[in-house]
Structure 1
Amino acid sequence: MLSVETLTKTYKTGDRALSDVSFTVPKGQVVGLIGPSGAGKSTLIRCINRLVEPSAGAVRLNGADITRLSNTELRRARRRIGMIFQEYALVERLTVMENVLSGRLGYVGFWRSFLRRYPAKDVQMAYRLLDRVGLSAHVDKRADALSGGQRQRVGIARALEQEPELLLIDEPTASLDPRTSRQIMRLIVEICRESGLPAIINIHDVVLAQQFTDRIIGLQAGRVVFDGTPAQLTEDVLTTIYGAEDWTAMRKGASEDAEAEEEERAQAKKLMDAL
């Protein structure tokens, strides 16, 4: 379980990015983190694994306080926290398999990683994960030859190669088209439920958050202003988080896109069944 306790981040300029943020995420729960630009979403994600140092508060992962660890202890703790980035963070010249295996860098020695001599069990796990994310046919393809959706799938497999206890996911659909965005969100949620992994997804697309996550936390100016189920995210709550907007029209357009995708999937299934 992840527990965030009165987490605060104040920069040297005096700007406060987070103010007394508190919540817990139990095993297997997928949380959507929403809010306007500058609300503190990315800062929160990065404070949890201390890519950004919090100014106060605590972050506990299965009882261990991440904010109190030494640098050596922190490196070990980060092996248990999988991170999936908006811009994929792949090594473009390396193959899909090599990028996935880089998720084991925290476990193998320098020379084994430099020479790419990973233990057989790590390689076998990478093959299983690539099959799970639908990339088993692209194992030897270079990362720079992949589409955006495929790159994000590599990023998911790499994070899972760490055998994490928590997933932190920063804007996983920001660079993807609507259909691919839904496919990626569906994949993330399915994997978390299969593995019992807790996850926090910083996501700008409110409709996707409502469609796929178990719970939504809304930030406004570094404070939690909403914490509830997707069904509780009413237009009044959205207005509190983001300001006035025609939320009905936005949801209608997204619903039509989702219905079109489901119809396409149903037609494809019928075709496969007929073969």
Structure 2
Amino acid sequence: MLRLDKLVKTYRTGDQALKSVEIEVPIGQVVALIGPSGAGKSTLIRCINRLVEPSGGKVWLDDVELTALSSGALRRARRRMGMIFQEYALVERLTVMENVLSGRLGYVGFWRSLLRRFPQKDVDEAFRLLDRVGLLAMADKRADELSGGQRQRVGIARALIQNPALLLVDEPTASLDPKTSRQIMRLICELCAERGLAAIINIHDVALAQMFVQRVIGLKAGEIAFDGPPDALTPEVLTRIYGEEDWQATIKTDETAEEAVA
């Protein structure tokens, strides 16, 4: 289980990105994090794995307090947190296989990682994951030859080869077309279900979030404005999160739900 206890982030400018945020995410639950730009969504995700250092509060992953760990212990703890980035964060000149195997760098020694010599079991697992995400035939292609959707699939495989307990996903569909966005969201949710993974997905597309996730958390100005099931995202709730607008067309309909499942 992931638990955030009164998490606070204040920048040197005095801007408070997170204001005493409290969240619990049980094993296997996929959560969408929505809210306007500047609400603190990306900051929250990065505070969990301490890519951004919290100013206060605590972060727990199972019985480990991540906010109390030394740098060495934090490196080891990050193995249990797979990160999927909006801009993919791939090494363009490396192959798809090499990018996936980079997810094992926290497990192999310095010289093996420098020479990119990974144990055979890691290579075998990378092939299995590439097959699962539909990229087995592209294992030897360079990352810069791939489409956006294919790059995101490589990022997913790279996160999963860490064998994490938690996925942190930052705007995985922001640069993708609508069809590919659905495919990527469906793939992430299916993989979480198959592996019993918890996930927090920062996403701007409210209707897309409603199609796939079990729970939605809405942030506004660094505070939780909503926490509940996707069907509870009424126009009134969206107004509370984002402000006044005609939200009816944004909300998932029965038809869009059926299309997402298909």
In which range does the TM-score fall when normalised by the shorter chain? Answer: over 0.9
Secondary structure of the corresponding residue to residue 18 of structure 1:
strand
Measure how far apart 1:79 and its partner are. Answer: 1.0
Match of residue 73 from structure 1: 73
CA shift at 1:255, angstroms? 5.6
Q: Which amino acid aligns with 1:172?
A: P
Contact 2:211-2:252 at 8 Å conserved across structures = no
Report if aligned partners of 1:213, 1:230 keep a CA contact under 8 Å in 2. Answer: yes
Give the CA deviation at 1:256.
6.2
Superposition map of 1:191-230 within 5 A: 191-230=191-230
The alpha carbon displacement at 1:250 in A equals 3.1
In 2 relative to 1, CA 255–38 (structure 1 residues): closer, same or farther, beyond 3 Å?
farther
Q: How do 1:9-158 and structure 2 match up within 5 A?
A: 9-158=9-158
Q: In the TM superposition, what whole-angstrom CA distance separates every residue of 1:139-198 from its partner, at most 9, and x where no partner exists?
A: 000000000000000000000011111100000000000000000000000000010000
**Residues 5-55 of structure 1, C-alpha deviation per residue, up to 9 Å, x if partnerless?**
110011111110000100100010000000000000000000000011101
CA shift for structure 1 position 252: 7.2
Distance 2:39 2:64 in 1: 27
Change in Cα spacing, 1:252 to 1:246, as seen in structure 2 (3 Å) is farther
TM-score (normalizing by structure 2): 0.96
Using the TM superposition, give the Cα deviation of residue 251 of structure 1 relative to its aligned residue in structure 2, in angstroms: 3.9
Q: Deviations over 1:213-248 (max 9, x none)?
A: 110000000000100000111110001000112222
Counterpart for residue 247 of structure 2: 247
CA distance in 2, matches of 1:185, 1:176: 11
In structure 2, C-alpha distance between the alignment counterparts of 1:10 and 1:163, rounded to whole Å:
32
Aligned counterparts of 2:176 and 2:256: Cα–Cα separation in 1: 18
In 1: Cα distance, 2:213 partner to 2:256 partner: 19
Structure 1 portions without partners, runs of 5+ = 266-275
Native 8 Å contact 2:83 2:168 kept in 1:
yes
Match of 1:187 in 2: 187
Cα RMSD (Å): 1.7
Does the 8 Å CA contact 1:207/1:254 hold for their aligned counterparts?
Answer: no
Residues 80-122 of structure 1: CA deviation (Å, up to 9, x unaligned): 1100000000000000000000000001011111212100000
CA distance in 2, matches of 1:245, 1:146: 38
Please identify runs of 4+ aligned residues in structure 1 that moved more than 6 A: none
Greater helix fraction, Structure 1 or Structure 2: 1
- Local SS of the residue matching 1:245: coil
Judge which range, 242-251 or 134-143, deviates more: 242-251
- Aligned to 2:58, the other structure's residue is in SS state strand
For 1:160, give the aligned amino acid. Answer: L
Task: State the identity as a percent.
Answer: 71
TM-score by length of 1: 0.92
Paired residue for 1:271? none
**Rg larger for:** 1
The DSSP-based 3-state class of the residue aligned with 2:249 is helix
Give ranges in structure 2 of 5+ residues lacking alignment: none
Q: Is the 8 A contact 1:148 1:175 kept in 2?
A: yes
- Equivalent pairs counted in the alignment come to 262
C-alpha deviation, 1:249, in angstroms: 2.4
- Structure 2 counterpart of 1:272: none
CA–CA distance in structure 1, aligned partners of residues 247 and 74 of structure 2: 42
Shift in Å at residue 136 of structure 1? 0.6
2:171 paired residue number: 171
